[in-house]
Amino acid sequence: MFDRRLIECFDWGLLVITLLIGSVGLGVLYSAVTAGDVSAIHVLFKKQIVWMGAGFFIMFTSMLVHYKYLDKGSVAIYAGCVALLIMVLVCGKYVGGSRRWLALGPFTMQPSELMKLSLIIMISSVYSGAASEEGLGFRDLVRPGLVLALPFMLIVKQPDLGTALLLLFITACITLFVKVEKRVFITCASICAAAVPLVWFVLKDYQKARILTFLNPDRDPLGAGYHIIQSKIAIGSGMLFGKGYLKGTQNALAFLPEQHTDFILSVLAEEWGLLGCAVLLFLYFLLLIWGLNISYSCRDMFGSILAFGITIMIFWQIFINVGMIMGLMPVVGVPLPLISYGGSSVITNMAGIGILMNISMRRFASS
Contact (CB, 8 A) for 55 and 346: yes
Report pLDDT for 35: 63
- What is the model's pLDDT at position 367? 42
The CA distances from residue 349 to 58, 113, 154, 192, 296, in Å, are 10, 9, 21, 29, 20
Domains identified in the chain, total number: 1
pTM of the model: 0.92
The answer to whether 224 and 218 are in contact (CB under 8 A) is no
Q: What is residue 219's predicted lDDT score, i.e. its pLDDT?
A: 66
Predicted confidence at residue 1, as pLDDT, reads 41
Give the span between the Cα atoms of 159 and 338, in whole angstroms.
Answer: 24
Crossing angle (nearest 10°) for helices 142-156 and 161-178: 170
φ and ψ at residue 61, rounded to 5 degrees:
-65, -40
pLDDT score for 52: 94
pLDDT of amino acid 228: 82
Domain extent, residue 194, equals 4-366
d(CA 256, CA 277): 17
Q: What is the layout of strands, in order, in the sheet containing 93-95?
A: 93-95, 98-104, 107-109
- SS3 (DSSP) at 354: helix
**CA-CA distance, 280 to 277, in Å (whole number)?**
5
Q: What's residue 366's pLDDT?
A: 47
- CA–chain centroid gap for 254, Å, is 26
Per-residue pLDDT 10s for the chain (367 aa) are 456 666 777 889 999 999 999 999 999 999 888 765 555 566 888 889 999 999 999 999 998 888 999 999 999 999 999 999 999 998 888 776 678 888 877 778 899 999 999 999 999 999 988 777 777 888 889 999 999 999 999 998 888 888 999 999 999 999 999 988 888 888 888 888 887 777 777 777 767 777 777 667 666 666 667 778 888 888 888 899 888 888 877 766 666 777 888 889 999 999 999 999 999 999 999 999 999 999 999 988 999 999 999 999 999 999 999 998 888 888 888 899 999 998 899 999 999 999 999 999 887 654 4
Dist CA 325 CA 322 (whole Å): 6
Within 8 A by CB and 6+ apart from 188, the residues are 141, 180
Yes or no: say if 260 and 341 are a contact pair by the CB < 8 Å rule: yes
Show the CA angle centred on residue 345, arms to residues 342 and 347, nearest 5°: 105
What is the total residue count of the chain?
367
